[in-house]
Structure 1
Amino acid sequence: MLISQETGLPCGLRLPNRLVKAAMAESMAPAPTHEPNDKMLVAYKEWAEGGWGMLLTGNVQVSETYLGGPLDVLSSKAASSDVQRIWKEWASTCQENGTPAVVQLNHPGRQSPLGAGQRGFFTKNLAPSAVKLNFGNSILAGVASSLLFGTPKAMTEEDISLVIDQFVAGAKQSFQAGFKGVELHGAHGYLLAQFLSPKTNLRTDDFGGSPAKRAEIVLRIIHQVRQATSKGFCIGIKLNSVDASSSDSMADTMEQIGLIVEAGIDFLEISGGTYEDPKMAQQKEPEIVTSTKEIKQTTLQRESFFLSFAQTIRANFPKVVLIVSGGFRTRLGMEAALQSGGCDLIGIARPATVLPKLPKEIILNEDIKDEDARVSLKPVRLPKLYGYLNWLLPVKSMGAGYTSVYYAGQIQRMGDGLKPLDTRL
């Protein structure tokens, strides 16, 4: 099986197999320090024993002023000896069985909610341009957007320079702790995604006005992270898929990806969705592949939410290492995706919270038949209160937000030494 084979990244990092524990918010790092703690070590030890090819951490925020959530881990440019120690323990725990671990670095930009981060009530979020989040057409949805996020401040060049420095500092801290690399979060509507998109980047300076200029902040971060770490330190990026409404939007994205690949990226992960349109947290389970006979391309793409876009990237950039995350539930589907050439690595999120040892126990377990090597999850039931609130306040991301909280709760159970709830169908 391709899925069980070792593979390598351009930086020289070797992965023991093709299964990647995708990034998920742990929500386990409270204020004021927002540092990884013993509970996180317990949770990551479970994954470290699971036989994964690579572990991606949840969001590590690079700015203490703007967090994506009130319990996010925060990187620190001037970390104390105690913080350096716990980071080294985190890296060591993740990798104690030979699985390389990579830190996902992020800045939420306009998606930093009220109360997340060390900023005053009247301090505006940052974004490339002053484009407000749109949760829906109702008056109440507009009020919710205004109260929770507000209209962001268009960043100055000084603001941009500071953010670049913060990403580099986060990468340097990860490198010194012993992690094997970092993944820049350029998806899900966060700050780097805001720069890449013409919908949220209306600038006409060096950081906007063309596809190449919208990618400039990402390119500078990649180059400076490489200079601050080493040639063997992995640098990846997570990007959104494109539901191209026109050939121009697809062409623009391919131009940006070409520049990112040329900058020396080691892998590119494909996901999708934003706070406004949360595809990454959709509830519907994918259509799963159930037989090795005549696996249809349409069925394969319905199991993997974003494989079609990845195949477009592959056609344009045949050598880039691609991770596709979202929807994979079966060994057959994963193997078929790899054999199609659409991706090199399989990212798995929600099933990894239910079965942290999924690779060892099921997917790579040769004692389990192909048709039985699968994990389908029951949809998360929204509490009645959420249903009522969603009727009263039709906000598109409300159900997706609850789903994310639910799976973060499974990680927290792991951190408490408990087994995750088995929600398999």
Structure 2
Amino acid sequence: MSVDMIIEVPAHSEGQTVMDDLTKDKLLLEEDAVIGESDQDTLPSSMPETLLAEAVEGSSTADPQETAPTEANLAELEWLYFQSFGAKALLTRDDEVALGKRIKQGDRQVRRALRAVLSLTRGLRRSESLKACQLDLKAVVSVSGLSATDLEKGKRAIQQIINEICRPSRRMTPKARQAEAALKQYHEGWAQLEKAKEEMVLSNLRLVVDIAKHYNGRGMSFLDLVQEGNMGLMKAAERFDHRRGFKFSTYATWWIRQGITRALSDQSRTIRVPVHMTEAYQRVSKATRRLAQRLGRQPSLKEVAGAVKTSSDKVGQTIQVFQDVVSLEHPIGDGETLLGDFIPDWDTPQADNQVGLKEMTREVARALGSLSPREEAVIRLRFGIGQGEPMTLEEVGHTLGVTRERIRQIEEKALMKLRAPEFQQLLRPLL
């Protein structure tokens, strides 16, 4: 059973009551609620000339024809959705127990069929495909709540095992017939399981709407919140155990809230924030409000950190992560100036820096001119002067066709020459 099955709305519905309390509130409610995974020869990357001076000194397009839905269309969709389950009777305690029993019976029948097929594979030649099917069946048997994906995986594995059993003789063997019978039993259990889950889910859709309206206006549309809550409701139906004695609505509320809050964490912000950071921010916000009420002022980071039992740095980082994202096109002042106009472009060279860079290049070239051609080549390659990125001793040796040790000796000799007083006086201003 997919989420789309839940959202599907009939074109015409007669004899259904309109949920007035929901349709009147669906666009207006914005209630408060808490939302609740070196190489040592390599030189550092920097300006080549500066490195040399230091050595001497000792970073989905939308369809243009696609139009966004209007508020009127969304309101109509919401109204139709509410109307689709408005006449659905709520489940009584006895109804929930009966559906829970049917779900457990279907679950047991499915697992029994899977174990029967697994037992048929004993003694067969274990090919790679058969091993994969056995692993799939064991995974489905071990899962606590069977989802539609798990059931589909089990069906494919059983069918593949039947093919493996029939392959050597190219005919239906007794084991293959037993596997076919198990597959039939599997389908019957699957149908019973899915029908009971569907009835339980459809009878509790209004619970999802009631919970979702508490999170309206937090970055996701109301229907999207309902959709995420519906997925949580389906997980609750898969894992509900009527033998524990509590009502299904009580159990499902946690799953619905988890589905909605996780979707808000993943989708409501321009930059996605991990769920654990969202939970940390909730704790910080709650502690901040409590301290502000008690102290009569805004608490400091240290006070908040003490309340949530963490460091001040972590509290500051958590608050910083949840700062609002501002567009660079945001107008400032009279509206003629944009925020982006105040942000410097560090990629564009400044005029005074360009002059200094030219002077630095000239002085370094003058100093390197006093070396032999081979020494100059080694220094340029090692420090990346006019060559791009600095190279390791190994890379320079490979380029010049000599050993790594020989390059080290040439470099050491060249640097000794550049440490002469006349060159030190020339290169020291570059530091």
TM-score by length of structure 1 reads 0.19
TM-score by length of structure 2 reads 0.19
Q: Which of the two has greater strand per residue?
A: 1
Q: Which of the two has greater helix per residue?
A: 2
If asked which structure has higher relative contact order (CA below 8 Å, sep 6+), I would say 2
